A = this chain, B = another copy of it.
Amino acid sequence: MSQFEIYRRKHTPVLPESIRGTSYSIHEGEKSVPISDAAEIAKTFTKTTYLPIIDIKAETTHATQLPPQTIGVIFSGGQAPGGHNVLCGLYDKLQQIAPGSTLLGFLDGPAGLMKNRHITLTKEYLEQYRNMGGFHAIGSGRDKIASQEQFDAAAKTSQDLNLDGLVIIGGDDSNTNACVLAEDFLTRGIKTNIVGVPKTIDRDLISKKGIETSFGFDSTTKVYSELIGNLCFDALSAKKYWHFVRLMGRSASHITLECGLQTHPNICLIGEEILEKKLTSKQVFEMIADIIDNRAKSGKNYGIALIPEGLIEFIPENNKLFDYLNNTLLPHWTGELNPEVVAAKLPADLRATFESIPRNIRFQLLLDRDPHGNIAISQIETEKFLVAGVKEVLEARKSVAKFNPLYHFFGYEGRCCPPSNFDSSYCYGLGSVASILLANGKTGYMASLKNLSKPPQDWIPVGLPLTCLMNVEMRHGKPTPVIQKQMVDLVGKPMKMLIDNRDSWATEDHYVQPGSLQLIDATDAEAIALAARPTITLIEEYK
């Protein structure tokens, strides 16, 4: 165990004042309504649609002590910093409001529930995971509870263990699944209540109704921003490299936006904007080449570009092309598969798109396909795609820029960092809220905390019906109620901050080094503020 781990385990997360003790009260507020398609969603979720939003408030008198509960908990999907603190918050609050309760951790994700593989989470066991990164206290997994057999298996385990409640810690898919399970259990008359916890470093699980951020986004963007800040100073010192940094975030660009606001790079691409403006790959290459050329003219043959990993799929024409290749051309292909032959077989507009893709990437596209024979778009390294395209543009222009690109991908190294002070308290608070909701018999809810741009003691605990986050989308060819992914708001304040500054960041060197995660418990106000600072995204959106 490292010196750091020994020290950091002793950190005390801060709970909102309203849920510090046992004296809280549950208030049913206004009836919630799905984002859209309410009637359709109410048909699937007959028991969990239109549930009231729950406010949890401080009381002056003590609440009644609740009988002991048996609660299960699952990590579903990719890691996010703070997960262990959700477990600790769950455990501590449960022992406080319903002493003698049992917390069971299902192993390695939803599969643990279906196979009834679990461990009992005790105070002693959890001690070593307090304020620590990773999900390894119980493991995580990506299995889905989807088929009738799987729902039966989940139901059987819940009944065998006499579960009063189950907490599913996951992203939009996992929380959609949590709601389906809640509805299924209600229909079957199984007593197990289900509550979700908003986890994803991508932050695409937010809602104006009461989810200001998802846990892990704060810590992860701080790790990435630390590294990007270091690269900015490296570019400025060596004056000969262009660093192309791909960042996690396949569906939404929140991570890239936050890292951009933290570090002031020369280029910061937001997928949602490229989609809205219907830019072509060629236009993106040209845009980047313009900045490289302009900087070269003032003697600056260096820079930093931030790129969301999902960029290629945000370019509308690419999706049309990939769709045609996967569904029309490649399934019936015989003979040699090389870019020239394929290009000749494409309709004119798609051929132009195909040929706008850099040549080496065209080869890769055709050769590296997934087990279904589909183009493995996610295998294309976005930063290499961009650089190859930019190089072709610079060559065609006979640019005099000295363009030495270096590639980076910041992803896995951020997902299991020790949670920041923000995420330590946020996750501990989310676990506490989940315990309160379950112990009070609520099901089909998301545990949440609002007012997050203020200090943790002022955060506001709420329970949000999962259905109010849903709309209807096509899945496997049929309309399905799902929690809607929340993309970067192109007219929101964080995006405005980028738009207002990016021209000057492109030409000048306004690099900023935000530093590493500060996890020492400080005593002076300035250091405390530095260690506690939330994301710029959150501050801008809620200031």
Using CB atoms and an 8 Å cutoff, list the residues of chain A in contact with chain B.
1-5, 7-8, 75, 78-79, 108, 132-136, 139-140, 223, 226-227, 229-234, 236-239, 241, 243, 262, 406, 408, 412-418, 512-524, 526-527, 529-531, 533
For A4, list chain B residues within 8 Å (CB): 513-515, 518, 530
- Alpha-carbon distance A1/B514, docked complex (angstroms): 9
Q: Is the CB of A238 within 8 A of B522?
A: no
Provided the pairs A513-B2, A513-B4 are in contact, do residues A417 and B520 lie with their beta carbons within 8 angstroms? no
Chain B residue, CB-CB nearest to A225: B2
Q: Is the CB of B518 within 8 A of A518?
A: yes
- Alpha-carbon distance A289/B414, docked complex (angstroms): 27
For A139, list chain B residues within 8 Å (CB): 237, 239
Chain B residue, CB-CB nearest to A133: B233
Copy count, this protein chain: 2
Instruction: Determine which residue in A229, A517, A522 has the highest number of CB atoms from chain B within 10 A of its CB, and name it.
Output: A229
CB < 8 Å neighbour of A513 from B132, B135, B518, B520: B132
CB < 8 Å neighbour of A230 from B408, B414, B523, B529: B414
Looking at the assembled complex, report how far the CB atom of A526 sits from the nearest CB atom of chain B, in whole angstroms.
6
For A522, list chain B residues within 8 Å (CB): 520-523
For A2, list chain B residues within 8 Å (CB): 229, 262, 512-515
For A520, list chain B residues within 8 Å (CB): 518, 520, 522, 527, 530-531
19 sample A-B contacts, Cβ–Cβ < 8 Å, listed by A number: A4-B518, A5-B515, A7-B526, A7-B527, A75-B237, A132-B233, A134-B234, A140-B237, A223-B516, A230-B417, A232-B416, A234-B415, A418-B516, A515-B519, A516-B517, A516-B519, A518-B519, A520-B527, A523-B523
Chain B residue, CB-CB nearest to A517: B516
Q: Is the CB of A233 within 8 A of B416?
A: yes
- Alpha-carbon distance A519/B531, docked complex (angstroms): 10
- Alpha-carbon distance A26/B517, docked complex (angstroms): 42
For A223, list chain B residues within 8 Å (CB): 226-227, 230, 516
Q: Is the CB of B416 within 8 A of A3?
A: no
Provided the pairs A3-B530, A133-B513 are in contact, do residues A108 and B239 lie with their beta carbons within 8 angstroms? yes
